[in-house]
Structure formats: C-alpha cells, structure tokens
C-alpha cells in the first residue's frame, strides 16, 4: 500500500497494522492448537444435522459467465449450489474490489483470475462479507496480488475460529467440500478498520463497508456502492432457510434478535438491488421475508419451550409446520440449527 491507498477508515495506520499482522500469525498457531479440541466437540454436536445436507455437488465457483448488474459491477452467481457463495467484483477507475472468494484455494484462484481479467491494470482489493469458509477461505491466493481489508471483529473471529472451521467442514460436509479445503491457509488482512464503517475509493466509485455487531457472525459486512446495491453475505439468503451457526460450546455467537433488527433496518438503506450470500438477487423483500421467518420461528420456539417442549421435540414434532410456511425454501435441514439456537435462549 502506498500513500495513494484508497482506504479511508477510522482504523490505525497501515504500517502499524502490518506489524500486528506478524504478531497475529504467531498467535494463530497457538490458538489453532486449542481449536482442534474444540472442533471435536463441535462435530459431535452437529453431526446429525450435517448428515442431512443433501447437496453433494462440488462447491466449485463457476466464473465462466459473470453478470454485469450495473456498469462495472460484476457478480458470479452461486447457481444455488451448497457452499458456493455469490461473489462480486466492483470496478472503479483505479482499483477493483473483490467481495468473497469461494471455498478453498482453487476457488480463490478462479476468482482471482476473473478479477485480473476484469480489472486489467487496476489495483486489486479483497474483502469478505464474513469469515465463514465458503466466503473467505480462498483468500490466501490474493495475498500477493491484492490488498486485503476486513473489519476488526471479522479479523478477530477469523483468528479464533478459522482453523476450527476447517476441521468442522472437513468432518461434516461432503467429500467434495473437504477436498476443496485441501491446502487452505488462514491468512490475515493487510488492513483492519475499527468502528462500524469504512469507505474505499476505487476511483470515481466509493464503496461503503458497514458492520452492525454480531448477527449471523461477529463481523458481518455489507457493501453499498452509490448504485444502492447491497452485498449482504449470509445476513440474507434468498429462498433458503437462514444459516444459524449455533454449535455450542464451540461457536454460539449468532444473535437472532439483532439479525432481525439488522434486516429490518436495511429498509433505511433503500437498496435497489440486494445480492444475498446464497440464492438469487432481489429487492428489499428478500431481507424482510427472512426477518419475518426468523421472528416467527423465535416466537414459536419460545412458546413451545414455555409449554415444556425440548428442542429435540420441537424439531421432531413442529418442524414440518414451520417448513410448510415457506415450501419453496431450500435446505430445511438448516432449520434444526435455528430451532436449537432459539430453544437455548433465556425466555
Ligand atoms: Zn456464513
């Protein structure tokens, strides 16, 4: 990064952050050691749910047909394949911002090759909607070619849970997904910003990075170019059940109440187009539909718990009725995580 770096954040100076990155690569190896024991507990707790994942297609990002949804704003669709995210490449005059990488280094290479092709001589910048493996575990291939920027909460969560999630995915996802993770290295960003907002000036186009506190994860980011296009990551899935990463005791940081409030708050951003983490792009309705589903499940589970039912009983006896309310939504297996989360919350 030079003095002409396009970042305008509230964070510390870049050189200081580069020093802290070196310190972190030391601490992450110690943390990763602790994480493997946690991963064992994690797998035991979600094994029965993971076994129900039925989409065994390789989670390969198909970069052959990117779509230009606005001038200089490209997306690579997930084609509704499990563990493939929607990916964006946003071009300015001087720089190009890549949002998410796909699962593992081979997907990262595919996205990097497309970004190079679209960006030409522009400087490359990478950021992630959040730290989860299918969104960010191809970042290592960008290390030399791009400046990587995350918010502090996202970076900290990656340090704490990054290695743990590799073990988790290897043990609970499809063989193809496990293979995609071969050779994955957890890499730290070059730049970290503090606070809830940062701006990146790509040259004639400003991108806003906003974060809202723990919802789907601790450091979810949303990107709102002036074109009113919102890249929401897993805060929003379209025609798909929400992903509650509720894996006690290893990961319990999801916050369902704040998640609903963040989704309803997206109305204030007045987005013309929302690109969800998974599923098809849409308008504000896809955010509000998801907020409504989460709030409905929260109320229902709370009432059933008050009536004495356990989470297991709710999943066995009441899940079909909840699924029936959104019959065309994919991956109803994810509802188990959502029910378990709300069943565990204090009444
Ligand atoms: Zn996620």
Q: What pLDDT shows up at residue 52?
A: 52
Q: What pLDDT shows up at residue 250?
A: 74
**Cα–Cα distance measured from residue 139 to residue 280, given in angstroms and rounded to the nearest whole number:** 24
**Cα–Cα distance measured from residue 275 to residue 88, given in angstroms and rounded to the nearest whole number:** 9
Q: What pLDDT shows up at residue 55?
A: 85
Is the alpha carbon torsion for 62, 64, 68, 74 positive or negative?
Answer: positive
Lookup result for tokens 């230009």: 68
Predicted confidence (pLDDT) per residue in 114-172, tens digit: 999 999 999 999 999 999 999 999 999 999 999 999 999 999 999 999 999 999 999 88
Assess whether pLDDT exceeds 70 at residue 84: yes
Residue 4 CA, ligand 1 centroid: distance in Å: 33
Residue 132 CA, ligand 1 centroid: distance in Å: 5
Residue 316 CA, ligand 1 centroid: distance in Å: 25
pLDDT band at 223; cut points 50, 70, 90: confident
Lowest mean pLDDT among 34-43, 96-105, 258-267: 34-43
**Cα–Cα distance measured from residue 3 to residue 277, given in angstroms and rounded to the nearest whole number:** 33
Instruction: Name the pTM for this structure.
Output: 0.87
Residue 94 CA, ligand 1 centroid: distance in Å: 30
Give CA separation, 300 vs 211, 277, 329, in Å: 29, 26, 19
> Which protein residues have a CB closer than 5 Å to ligand 1 (ion)?
132, 234
| Average pLDDT of span 235-255 | 92
Neighbours of 118 (CB within 10 A): 18
DSSP-assigned letter for residue 251: B
Domains of the chain: 11-344 (3.60.15.10)
Lookup result for tokens 């990587």: 148
Predicted confidence (pLDDT) per residue in 89-124, tens digit: 999 999 999 999 999 999 999 999 999 999 999 999
Residue 20 CA, ligand 1 centroid: distance in Å: 26
């Amino acid at each position: 990064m030079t003095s002409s770096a396009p970042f305008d954040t509230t964070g510390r100076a870049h050189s200081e952050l580069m020093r802290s990155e070196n310190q972190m690569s030391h601490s992450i190896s110690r943390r990763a050691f602790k994480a493997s024991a946690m991963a064992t507990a994690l797998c035991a707790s979600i094994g029965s749910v993971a076994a129900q994942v039925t989409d065994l297609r390789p989670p390969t990002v198909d970069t052959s047909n990117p779509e230009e949804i606005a001038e200089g704003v490209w997306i690579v669709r997930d084609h509704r394949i499990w563990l493939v995210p929607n990916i964006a490449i946003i071009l300015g005059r001087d720089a190009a911002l890549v949002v998410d990488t796909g699962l593992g280094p081979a997907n990262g290479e595919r996205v990097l090759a497309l970004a190079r092709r679209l960006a030409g001589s522009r400087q490359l910048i990478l950021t992630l909607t959040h730290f989860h493996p299918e969104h960010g575990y191809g970042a290592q291939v960008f290390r030399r070619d791009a400046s990587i920027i995350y918010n502090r909460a996202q970076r900290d969560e990656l340090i704490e849970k990054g290695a743990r999630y590799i073990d988790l995915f290897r043990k609970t996802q499809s063989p193809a997904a496990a293979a995609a993770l071969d050779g994955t290295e957890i890499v730290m960003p070059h730049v970290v910003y503090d606070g809830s907002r940062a701006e990146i000036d790509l040259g004639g186009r400003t991108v806003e990075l906003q974060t809202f506190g723990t919802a789907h994860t601790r450091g979810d980011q949303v990107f709102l170019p002036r074109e009113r296009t919102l890249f929401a990551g897993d805060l929003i899935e379209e025609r798909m059940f929400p992903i509650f990463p509720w894996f006690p005791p290893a990961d319990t940081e999801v916050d369902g109440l704040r998640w609903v409030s963040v989704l309803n708050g997206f109305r204030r951003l007045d987005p013309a187009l929302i690109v969800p983490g998974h599923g098809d792009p849409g308008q504000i309705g896809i955010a509000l539909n998801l907020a409504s589903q989460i709030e409905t499940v929260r109320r229902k589970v709370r009432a059933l718990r008050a009536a004495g039912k356990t989470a297991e009983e709710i999943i066995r006896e009441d899940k079909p009725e909840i699924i029936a309310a959104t019959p065309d939504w994919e991956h109803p297996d994810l509802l188990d995580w959502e029910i378990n989360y709300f069943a565990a919350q204090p009444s």
